[in-house]
Amino acid sequence: MRQQTKRTQHLVAMELIALPAVRKLSSLVVTVLGMNPGRMTLQGTNTYLVGSGSSRILIDTGAGKAEYLDHLKGALASAGVKRLSHVLLSHHHADHVGGLQDVLALAARMDPNGHAPQIWKHEKHPLAEALDNPSVLEGLSVGFLKEGMRFATEDASCTVRTIYAPGHTDDHCCFFLEEEQALFSGDAILGQGTAVITDLKSYLSTLRALQKGDAMFKVIHPAHGPPLDDPAAAFESRSAGLMKVAFVPGRETSTWRR
């Protein structure tokens, strides 16, 4: 218990960088904040609209907060987006999939006669079990993400490649935007501090695999916290933070915010 108290004090002491609700990060990336700040979600869950033109890819859907949907709607309107082609989900946690129902309803209102977005997630922890209302998936296309799977926007403005990256959870995937060499790291690498880990062995090999490819990454867009424009330094500090706590006997492997 004493350890827990110390840890909580550490969490409270850490300052979070303020993030705007909607921010254009590049010509191909707009981020919309999930408006769900908290101890485990930092400033809230970042979701990402990827591509240019009237059809985009959405990475993650937030926690299902009404304010998020308003901001997403505004971001889509100001970018002239008419439809979402794909919704890519990094993993099954509620702060990433909780907004799916609202996002699908919004997509249907935007494009009533068109196709609903295709939904993609790794096959472990099926989406039907992760959602409060799985009936929302009826009649929709839900595909399983696999390592190397690529998604392109309709105007071919971008290609997003799937990187299977277990450790935070065993269904966790990252996404790589080839045109900007940007890594959407989900909860595997956070913008501030280090991730919560359910399987240390898997997490270490994920971190090593990402680290090997760091020359390929120019920027990391995490699911929580600000973008990281020095990926090599980010990998290094996450590894160092992990080592610091992972081998302290009796302490949980979670290294959240260290």
Q: Which residue(s) pair with 56 in the sheet?
A: 84
Q: Note whether 149 and 121 are within 8 A (CB).
A: no
We find the least distance from the C-beta atom of residue 35 to Zn ion, in angstroms, to be 17
Report how far apart, in Å, the C-alpha atoms of 113 and of each of 82, 107, 110, 221 are: 12, 11, 9, 33
Report the C-alpha gap between 242 and 200 in whole angstroms: 9
For residues 181 to 210, the per-residue mask of contacts with Zn ion, x marking binding by CB under 5 A and - elsewhere, is ------x-----------------------
We find the least distance from the C-beta atom of residue 174 to Zn ion, in angstroms, to be 12
One-letter amino acid of 155: D
Span of 27-35, 38-46, 87-95, 243-251 interacting with Zn ion by CB under 5 A: 87-95
Q: Note whether 184 and 219 are within 8 A (CB).
A: no
CB-wise, 157 or 202, nearer to Zn ion?
Answer: 202
Query: Could you say which residues in the range 89-108 bind Zn ion, by CB under 5 A?
Result: 93
Residue positions annotated with a catalytic role: 95
Q: How many Cα atoms within 13 Å fall on the side-chain side of residue 144? A: 6
Alpha-carbon torsion (9, 203, 151, 232), positive or negative: positive
Q: Note whether 151 and 59 are within 8 A (CB).
A: no
Query: Could you say which residues in the range 21-80 bind Zn ion, by CB under 5 A?
Result: none
CB-wise, 51 or 64, nearer to Zn ion?
Answer: 64
CB-wise, 180 or 187, nearer to Zn ion?
Answer: 187
DSSP symbols for 145-199: --TT-EEE-TT---EEEEEE--SSSTT-EEEEEGGGTEEEEETTS-SSSB---S-
Span of 14-22, 36-44, 88-96, 131-139 interacting with Zn ion by CB under 5 A: 88-96
Structure tokens at 153: 């926007």
Residues that contact Zn ion, how many (by CB under 5 A): 2
Which residue is nearest to Zn ion, using beta carbons? 93
For residues 145 to 184, the per-residue mask of contacts with Zn ion, x marking binding by CB under 5 A and - elsewhere, is ----------------------------------------
We find the least distance from the C-beta atom of residue 168 to Zn ion, in angstroms, to be 6
CB-wise, 171 or 187, nearer to Zn ion?
Answer: 187
CB-wise, 86 or 172, nearer to Zn ion?
Answer: 172
We find the least distance from the C-beta atom of residue 97 to Zn ion, in angstroms, to be 10
Span of 5-13, 85-93, 105-113, 136-144 interacting with Zn ion by CB under 5 A: 85-93
We find the least distance from the C-beta atom of residue 91 to Zn ion, in angstroms, to be 6
Binding site for Zn ion (CB under 5 A): 93, 187
